[in-house]
Amino acid sequence: MKNLKGDLSFVITNKCNQKCKFCFTRNDDEKRVDLTVENIRDIIIREKGLFNKVFIMGGEPTFHPFFNEIIDMLNEEGCKNITLVSNGNSLNNKDVISLLLKKNVKNFTIAFHDSDPQVFGEVTRNKNAFYHTTTAIKNILECGGELLINFVLTKINFERLTSIIDYLYSIGVRNIIISYIIPPNNITYSFDDLIPEYSSTISYLKEALDKYKNKGITFQIQYFPYCIINGYNSYRSSGYGGGIYVFDCNGQEYYHFNDCTSFISTKREECNMCIYNDKCVGVYKEYIARKGWNEFNPILSR
């Protein structure tokens, strides 16, 4: 880790049981590969003492042929703070959740896309995804796991944001990240069909945050430039804190201090005047190429 302290994230496989329209990582032409148990063990031993948390990610990590063995190995090596990042499709069994909790997988980040089952299925290209994901969410909460919902705001769902939060609240969810969509890197997609104008989403975002301000939900906002959410910046996720070191199933290693969109984002000279310039990574390059800078103005004071 080159003396960079932070958390470890293992992308243990690029296999998945969904084909989400806006997937940032999927590549249809990519060879399907898995990190081996020994790959992960070697890194855990090498970085001993330099990390606090371990994140297990994919693809869909539960699709790894030796997923259970990886969890067992992490326990053998003394990892006591494990987070599973999943779409939930393989977690719709309480016995599975209970076993994971006993093996120090106490934190679950689950992707949730829509409260409309049909739209959910169309977005994920998995007609049963809504049922499996919602069942997983309920199971995790009933079994006492710590749950964080990752909701991606797109052109398909942003106008119904409050009703989607209503649904999540009704089934017991109390921790939600609202992420502005990251333009997919490796799949063919329609920018105009998936990516809304930032300025079009703000009234809906503020409506949802205001409605649940005093109702016990913890919100984080992610991948929104600070200037767009002025007045609501206290909700803005500041990135990975001490940083996160990623080990990819393709053999790549990289360190994220702020967030994973910095390499596809850009700033302009005026950004240097903004009081959030040291935190903000800017705006997606592709967005600026299509839409320009008119929506974005530096915040000069609090």
Question: Does the pLDDT at position 2 exceed 70?
Answer: no
Q: What's this model's pTM, rounded to 2 decimal places?
A: 0.94
- Per the prediction, the chain carries an average pLDDT of 92
Superfamily of domain 6-263: Aldolase class I (3.20.20.70)
User: Which positions ≥6 away from 67 have C-beta within 8 Å?
Assistant: 12, 61
- The whole-angstrom separation of Cα 211 and Cα 217 is 10
Q: Is 135 helix (H, G, I), strand (E, B) or coil?
A: helix
Cβ neighbours, 10 Å, residue 297: 14
The predicted-structure confidence for 251-266, as pLDDT tens digits, reads as follows: 888 887 667 888 899 9
Tens of pLDDT, residues 21-32: 888 877 767 788
Looking up tokens 């104008």, which residue turns up? 197
H or E element in which residue 283 lies:
strand 283-284
- Encode pLDDT of 193-239 as tens digits: 999 999 999 999 999 999 999 999 999 999 999 999 999 999 998 65
Interval 5-51: pLDDT, tens: 678 999 999 999 999 988 887 776 778 899 999 999 999 999 888 88
Strand order in the sheet with 175-180: 218-222, 175-180, 146-153, 105-111, 82-86, 51-57, 6-11, 244-247, 253-256
For the stretch 106-149, pLDDT in tens is 999 999 999 999 999 999 999 999 999 999 999 999 999 999 99
- The neighbouring-strand residues paired with 176 are 149, 219
Q: pLDDT per residue over 268-294, tens digit each?
A: 999 999 999 998 999 999 999 999 999
Q: Is 173 exposed, middle or buried (0-12, 13-18, 19+ CB in 10 A)?
A: buried
For the chain, give every domain's residue range.
6-263
Question: What pLDDT sits at residue 231?
Answer: 94
Instruction: List, in sequence order, every residue forming a beta bridge with 55; answer none if it has no partner.
Output: 9, 83
Distances (CA, A) of 160 to 57, 178, 257: 28, 13, 32
